[in-house]
Amino acid sequence: MVNTEQIKDADEEHKNENGFQNQYAMDTKRNTRILKSSQNDFNKNRNAKVQIATAIFKSLSFSFVLIICLLSMTTQPVSSSSSPYDVFLSFRGEDTRTNFTDHLHEALVRKGIRTFIDGELVRGEEISPALVKAIEESRISLIVFSENYASSRWCLDELVKILQCKQSKQQVVLPIFYKVDPSDVRKQTSKFGDAFEGLIESKFKDNEEKVLIWKESLTKAANLSGHTFKDGESEATFINNIVDGILRQVLRRTYWNVAEHPVGIQSHVQDAKKLLDVGGNSRRIVGIWGTSGIGKTTIAKAIWNAIAHEFQGSCFLENVREGSLVKLQKTLLHKYLGKKLKIQSVDEGIGVIRERLRRKKILLILDDVDRLEQLDKLAGDDCFGEGSRVIITTKNRRLLDNREIELIYEVKKLDYNQALELFSWHALGRSAPPKDDLKLAQRAIAFADGHPLALTILGSHLRGIYIRRWQVILDGYEGEPYTHIERILQKSYDALDDWAKDYFLDIACVSSRVNVRNMCYK
């Protein structure tokens, strides 16, 4: 008979093995042996496995099921490559190339910050593909607004592209107002406005659409928090402050991988940011609430990437539901204070948090909270300084109500267009299906009912299969005693290779403490 102690002993014996691959193989072998000792013909009994799989699908978290299902279905791994550039510099060459921008570039490189600076003095009609690529692949864009910046169509086109990347990729954008007033950039007035009007009059008098895009981009950029240099100020000190700020607030913090295809994520981020009101001085707690697999954690990570640089410190605690409160408290303090503290109890931990962090402006994200105690012991009243923001993701709306959290963002299912796009990326590797196959794709997404995880699994399941065969596969989803999502997961399990099914069952049964003997013989 398999008991918990056997499994614990098996796991503990290999706890300190080096290397994920070796540890995974050895643990799997040991767990498989334990399961086989309980039921010798376990691997021969396919009906028993289906019963176990069904129970597992209904009891395990969606994220766990997704990981296992995608082991064999995903044909293209998620890229984890880092950006080739930390900073992209946008500037007007004739104003600042040989003075301020050159000094800024040198200071950035001296600190080990990989910086792209355009060395071309002569340009064509449009900004080059290489320049567009450099903007897209940079983590930060520094825009040096100088008196004649808006006299250059290339500078303005760069600005438009930079703001597009801020919107689509959560790129950090920092404007630098070099001897110009931000209000002149915002309203296109004074000498800055004169330079802009000169460009329009000379070449773009009849291109109202392009001029409007430029004007909107200048206004948006000038409204961003940045750095203003004035005559008489020490240029060296000013530049050092910019570089130190980039290192401290942006480059030395964690960036979360959000999603391979972040369809609809940005609109969620924008809506949630309105509730957060990051620029305000009050303390604020915002709950992100929704069903399993709807994208709460993904949205929280995207929010982190967009706003974490605006705080003195930030911490993202994953899977709070499964963690030890004392360990989570230690992680929280270590993230902010940079050193490990000895904490013996939960009450001691919350006392230290309140004492050490109550004057700091911080961002704290608590992911997958399911008990009120977790909120009280990790983000109690008056634990953090003015301007701090706490974000909580949870499936439990009652928990948020009991904590009297009024700012709640409900994550809803994807709309039709978003669902079609997400499914198409995973199933076809493109943003939309061919017109001739639209009805098949529409039928497929109907099964997922706008649920991002179900769309991902279903699309990955169909990836690489000739689209005309989809009809047969989708027919198999009809008339079965499962809900939409359970049906998709069941079919995904059935499509796994035998070795993947065995790994899935061995890992899942042990993780969820399923009684295999009872499942096989009931």
Residues marked active site are found at: 158
Burial class (CB in 10 A: 0-12, 13-18, 19+), 210: middle
Helix axes 20-38, 498-512, angle to 10 degrees: 80
Q: What is the DSSP letter of 251?
A: I
Q: Which residue has the tokens 């998709």?
A: 488
DSSP 359-395: TS-EEEEE-S---HHHHHHHS-TT-S-TT-EEEEEES
Judged by DSSP in three states, 353 sits in helix
Tokens describing residue 365:
């994200």
Judged by DSSP in three states, 236 sits in helix
**Distance in angstroms (rounded) separating the CA atoms of residues 376 and 296:** 21
Judged by DSSP in three states, 184 sits in helix
Question: Measuring CA to CA, how many Å separate 316 from each of 1, 220, 302?
Answer: 40, 29, 12
Q: What is the DSSP letter of 88?
A: E
Beta strands in 79-127 (DSSP E): 85-90, 115-116
**Distance in angstroms (rounded) separating the CA atoms of residues 326 and 345:** 6
Phi, psi of 205 (to 5 degrees): -60, -30
Judged by DSSP in three states, 181 sits in coil
296's enclosing H/E stretch is: helix 296-307
Q: Which residues contact 36 (CB under 8 A, 6 or more apart)?
A: 42, 43
Write the secondary structure of 10-43 as one string of H (helix), E (strand) and C (coil). HHHHCCCCCCHHHHHHHHHHHHHHHHHHHCCCHH
Q: Which residues contact 305 (CB under 8 A, 6 or more apart)?
A: 170, 255, 256, 258
**Distance in angstroms (rounded) separating the CA atoms of residues 26 and 350:** 39
Q: Which residue has the tokens 């009652």?
A: 398
Judged by DSSP in three states, 202 sits in helix
Helix axes 190-203, 153-169, angle to 10 degrees: 110
Tokens describing residue 375:
């909120």
**Distance in angstroms (rounded) separating the CA atoms of residues 54 and 60:** 10
- CA proximity to 188, closest of 221, 141, 163: 221
